[in-house]
Amino acid sequence: MRVAFRTMADHEFIFERRTEDLDLALTVEGTLPASLAGTFYAMAPTGCRVGSTPLHVFDAHGRVIAVRIADGQASLRARMVQSPLWEAERDAPAIVKRRLFVNKPSRWSNLFDVDLANPVSHNVVPWGKDLVAANDPGFFRLDPVTLETRGPTTFNPTTKGATLGPMPRVDPATGHHVVFEHRPGRRDTLIVREVDDAFATVVERTYKLDRGGASFHDVAITEHYYLVMQFGTVSLPTLLWGGKPVIDALRFDPVATPRLYLLPRAGGAPIAVPLPGGRLHFHFWNAYEADGKVVADAIGYAGRVDFASLVPPSVRDPRKALATPASSSWRYTIDLATRTAQATALTDVATETPEIRADRRGRAYQFGWAPVPGVAGDEPDRGNAAWYHALARHDFAARTVQTWDAGPRAYVSPAAFVPRPGSTVEDDGHVLALVQDVGTRTATLGVFDARDVAAGPVARLTGAGLLGAINHVAFAIGHGARS
Ligand SMILES: [Fe+2]
Q: How far is the CA of 466 from the centre of ligand 1 (A)?
A: 22
> Is the backbone of residue 394 left (phi > 0), alpha (psi -120 to 50) or beta?
beta
Q: Please answer whether residues 188 and 213 qualify as being in contact, where contact means their C-beta atoms are separated by less than 8 angstroms.
A: yes
Q: Please answer whether residues 443 and 450 qualify as being in contact, where contact means their C-beta atoms are separated by less than 8 angstroms.
A: no
What's this model's pTM, rounded to 2 decimal places? 0.96
CA triplet 272, 276, 277: central angle to 5 degrees?
A: 145
Identify the pLDDT of residue 481.
63
Identify the pLDDT of residue 319.
86
Q: How far is the CA of 217 from the centre of ligand 1 (A)?
A: 7
Q: How far apart are CA 180 and CA 194, in angstroms?
A: 9
Enumerate residues 6+ apart whose C-beta is below 8 A from 266. 224
Q: How far apart are CA 210 and CA 229, in angstroms?
A: 14
Identify the pLDDT of residue 49.
80
Buried b (16+ CB within 10 A) or exposed e, 185-200: eeebbbbbbbbeeebe
Q: Please answer whether residues 418 and 474 qualify as being in contact, where contact means their C-beta atoms are separated by less than 8 angstroms.
A: no
Specify if 483 maps to a domain.
no
Q: How far is the CA of 264 from the centre of ligand 1 (A)?
A: 23
Question: Could you list the pLDDT tens digit for every one of the 483 residues in the chain?
Answer: 555 566 789 999 999 999 999 999 999 999 899 889 999 999 999 977 888 888 999 999 999 999 999 999 999 999 999 999 999 999 988 898 999 888 888 888 888 888 888 999 999 999 998 999 999 999 999 999 999 999 999 999 999 899 999 999 999 999 999 999 999 999 999 999 999 999 999 999 999 999 999 999 999 999 999 999 999 999 888 988 889 998 999 999 999 999 999 999 999 999 999 999 999 999 999 999 999 999 999 999 999 998 999 998 888 888 888 899 999 999 999 999 999 999 999 999 999 999 999 999 999 999 999 999 999 999 999 999 999 999 999 999 999 999 999 999 999 999 999 999 999 999 999 999 999 999 999 999 999 999 999 999 999 999 999 999 999 999 999 887 654
Q: How far is the CA of 135 from the centre of ligand 1 (A)?
A: 9
Q: How far is the CA of 468 from the centre of ligand 1 (A)?
A: 17
Specify if 1 maps to a domain.
no
Specify if 162 maps to a domain.
yes
Q: How far apart are CA 271 and CA 341, in angstroms?
A: 12
Specify if 3 maps to a domain.
no
CATH assignment at residue 152: 2.130.10.10
Q: How far is the CA of 452 from the centre of ligand 1 (A)?
A: 26
Specify if 405 maps to a domain.
yes
Specify if 416 maps to a domain.
yes
- 30: amino acid identity, one letter: G
Handedness of CA 351, 468, 130, 25 (dihedral sign): negative
Q: Which residues pair with 233 in a beta bridge?
A: 214, 251
Task: Classify residue 107 as exposed, middle or buried by CB count within 10 Å of its CB (0-12, 13-18, 19+).
Answer: exposed
Strand pairing class (138-142; 293-301)? unpaired
Q: How far is the CA of 136 from the centre of ligand 1 (A)?
A: 10
Q: How far is the CA of 16 from the centre of ligand 1 (A)?
A: 22
Q: How far apart are CA 203 and CA 180, in angstroms?
A: 11
Identify the pLDDT of residue 483.
46
- Per-residue three-class SS string for the chain: CCCCCCCCCHHHHHHCCCCCCEEEEEEEEECCCCCCCEEEEEEEEECCEECCEECCHHHCEEEEEEEEEECCEEEEEEEECCCHHHHHHHHCCCCCCCCCCCCCCCHHHHCCCCCCCCCCCCEEEEECCEEEEEECCEEEEECCCCCCEEEECCCCCCCCCCEECCECEECCCCCCEEEEEEECCCCCEEEEEEECCCCCEEEEEEEECCCCCEEECECEECCCEEEEEEEEEECHHHHHHCCCCHHHHEECCCCCCCEEEEEECCCCCCEEEECCCCCEEEEEEEEEEECCEEEEEEEEECCCCCCCCCCCHHHCCCCCCCCCCCEEEEEEEEECCCCEEEEEEEECCCCCCCECCHHHCCCCCCEEEEEECCCCCCCCCCCCHHHCCEEEEEECCCCEEEEEECCCCEEEEEEEEEECCCCCCCCCEEEEEEEEECCCCEEEEEEEECCCHHHCCCEEEEEECCCCCCCCEEEEECCCCCC
Identify the pLDDT of residue 35.
81
Q: Please answer whether residues 58 and 101 qualify as being in contact, where contact means their C-beta atoms are separated by less than 8 angstroms.
A: yes
Q: How far is the CA of 6 from the centre of ligand 1 (A)?
A: 33
Q: How far is the CA of 106 from the centre of ligand 1 (A)?
A: 30
Q: How far is the CA of 168 from the centre of ligand 1 (A)?
A: 10
Q: How far apart are CA 166 and CA 132, in angstroms?
A: 11
**C-alpha 117 chain-centroid distance:** 18
Q: How far is the CA of 31 from the centre of ligand 1 (A)?
A: 31
Q: How far is the CA of 173 from the centre of ligand 1 (A)?
A: 23
Q: How far is the CA of 123 from the centre of ligand 1 (A)?
A: 7
Q: How far is the CA of 30 from the centre of ligand 1 (A)?
A: 32
Q: How far is the CA of 42 from the centre of ligand 1 (A)?
A: 12
Domains identified in the chain, total number: 1
Specify if 2 maps to a domain.
no
Q: How far is the CA of 337 from the centre of ligand 1 (A)?
A: 31
Q: How far is the CA of 286 from the centre of ligand 1 (A)?
A: 14
Q: How far is the CA of 355 from the centre of ligand 1 (A)?
A: 11
Q: How far is the CA of 273 from the centre of ligand 1 (A)?
A: 22
Handedness of CA 397, 402, 408, 409 (dihedral sign): negative
Identify the pLDDT of residue 160.
87
Specify if 148 maps to a domain.
yes
Q: How far is the CA of 71 from the centre of ligand 1 (A)?
A: 32
Tell me the residue range of the domain where 298 lies.
Answer: 10-477
Q: How far is the CA of 252 from the centre of ligand 1 (A)?
A: 18
Q: How far is the CA of 282 from the centre of ligand 1 (A)?
A: 7
Q: How far is the CA of 5 from the centre of ligand 1 (A)?
A: 36
Q: How far apart are CA 229 and CA 273, in angstroms?
A: 9
